[in-house]
Each structure stands twice: as C-alpha cells, then as structure tokens.
Amino acid sequence: MAHSLLASVHGLRSISTSMYKTHRCHKKEFLLKFAKDRQRWLYWLFEARKRYGLCVLNYVVTSNHIHLLVKDTGESVIPKSLQLIAGRTAQEFNQRKGRKGAYWEDRYHATAVGSDEHLFKCLVYIDLNMVRAGVVRHPAEWMQGGYHEIQSPPQRYRIIDISVLMELSGADGYAGPTRQRAFPTSCGSSWVLKNPRPE
C-alpha cells in the first residue's frame, strides 16, 4: 500500500488522485448537531459539484466534523470547492445565530489515497463513522452520509459520482441484477453495493 501523504488542502496538486479529507468545527464544537445545518453543508457540496465539477466518492456529515472522499479532476477544483462549502456553511450559520468567530478549524486534514485497498478502507471508514461513535447501529440510520446514495443512487440531486466510484473500486454493479460487490466492514459483517445506475 502506498504511504499516505498528509498535507493542507492548498498543497494538493496531483491529478487523477483520490483524496480523503476531514474538517472539524472550531474547537470541536457541535456546530453541526442539527440536521438542518448538516443539510446545508450537503447543499453546498452539491453546488460545488455543479459549479466546479467536484468528483465526490463518499461523505458523511457528523455533529462536529465532516469526512469527504473526492477524486482530483483538475487544478484548483478541490480547493475552490472546499472554500465554497466551508465558507458558505459558516456564513449562513453565523448569520442565522448572530454568531461571530471561526466556524471551522484552520485546515483540512488531507490524505492521498494510494491504492485500491486504501480506497476501500476509506469508503468503509466513512460509512461506519457514526456506527463507531455509537450514534446509530447501521450506516443506513444516519441520513447525512453517502451510504444511501451508494446503495440507491437517486435520479436527481445526486452528489456521489457512482460511475467513477465503480471504476476506481473495480465493482461490477452494472453487469446485471445478480452481480454485486460486497463491502466488508470493520465490525465483521458486510453490506452490498447493489446494481447502481450509471451517471
């Protein structure tokens, strides 16, 4: 497995590389504890995909941080996208609450995904985040996560690029209704990526 490269988002320059990112609220405050605030973060993630072509592979929005797995598709796509998402989410929250000061920690924690195995582990880690935290028993129970999109891609307003995810993961979900790719989890069980529709 390739070594992980830890860097600030401004230092990422590699094209056609998958990037795993974590961004925490300032001082780990629970600024995303309400579903409406998590939904606003997702709205701006969707906007980043529309505006800049951000290629999203998976995500989860927790009560005080986010995890995001993306594929680098061009110069400045990721930095512009993250600036939009973080900036607009913070601005809306602070205006609504009459709040001043930092909303996010200064930097994203960014890791270059260097192998299929690493990619697979990142996908599972993101899906199981709220399970590990003891908030839910299964990722399907947490609505602000990419698990739902991966299992049942929506016809409209989709955020995850299922076609690219399938290509990178080697899944063969397009081949027919009986062909599936199991996603093993760290808790010893598995769930299945069921015949996603192409983009």
- Residue 172's pLDDT is what? 52
Domain contains 1: no
Domain contains 198: no
pLDDT tops 50 at residue 179? no
- The tens digit of pLDDT for each residue in 29-38 reads 999 999 999 9
CA distance 105 to 97: 19
Domain contains 150: yes
Please state which of the ranges 48-52, 95-99, 159-163, 184-188 shows the lowest mean pLDDT.
184-188
Q: How confident is the model at residue 16 (pLDDT cuts 50, 70, 90)?
A: very low
CA distance 132 to 60: 13
Domain contains 48: yes
- Residue 115's pLDDT is what? 81
- Residue 77's pLDDT is what? 94
CA distance 112 to 97: 36
Domain contains 199: no
> Are the beta carbons of 77 and 54 closer than 8 angstroms?
yes
pLDDT tops 60 at residue 198? no
Six token digits for residue 44? 């701006």
pLDDT higher for 74 or 61?
61
CA distance 117 to 39: 30
Domain contains 111: yes
| Count of CB atoms situated within 10 Å of the CB of 141 | 12
Strand residues in the chain grouped as ranges (E) = 6-7, 18-24, 55-61, 65-71, 109-113, 181-184, 190-193
Q: Which domain holds residue 31?
A: 6-193
Residue with tokens 């582990």: 121
- Residue 188's pLDDT is what? 35
- What is the pTM (predicted TM-score) of this model? 0.78
- Residue 1's pLDDT is what? 26
- Residue 80's pLDDT is what? 95
Q: How many domains does the chain have?
A: 1
Check which CATH number belongs to the domain holding 75 and give it: 3.30.70.1290
- The tens digit of pLDDT for each residue in 56-70 reads 999 999 999 999 999
